[in-house]
Amino acid sequence: MLIIHATQRDKIGKSASRLLRTKNKFPAIVYGKKKPTLHIQIDNKIIINSTFFKKNIRLIICNEKYIVSIKEIHYHAFKPKIIHIDFIYIDEIK
């Protein structure tokens, strides 16, 4: 299982997301299962390959662990960069 460390975002919106991308990070969101929506930021250095989409991912946010899967990934139009990822809850680990 892939483990990704993320931090929660305080500011959301277009200008905050653009600022994140200049710092070599990208915004993401975690939602579903009648749980609160989490706005997070992830370092752009994570390795993306074909198995990344098929596996469940352990997402660690502020010392809380969640099992998520990828709902959607938005890529830059002509650069090999991720713009945004939508994760969906599968389970929570205590």
In the block, which residue shows the tokens 């139009």?
77
CATH code (residue 75): 2.40.240.10
> Into how many domains does the chain fold?
1
pLDDT in tens, 12-70: 889 999 898 889 889 999 999 888 899 999 988 776 655 566 678 888 998 899 999 88
8: containing domain = 2-93
Name the pTM for this structure: 0.83
Phi, psi angle pair for 65, to nearest 5°: -110, 135
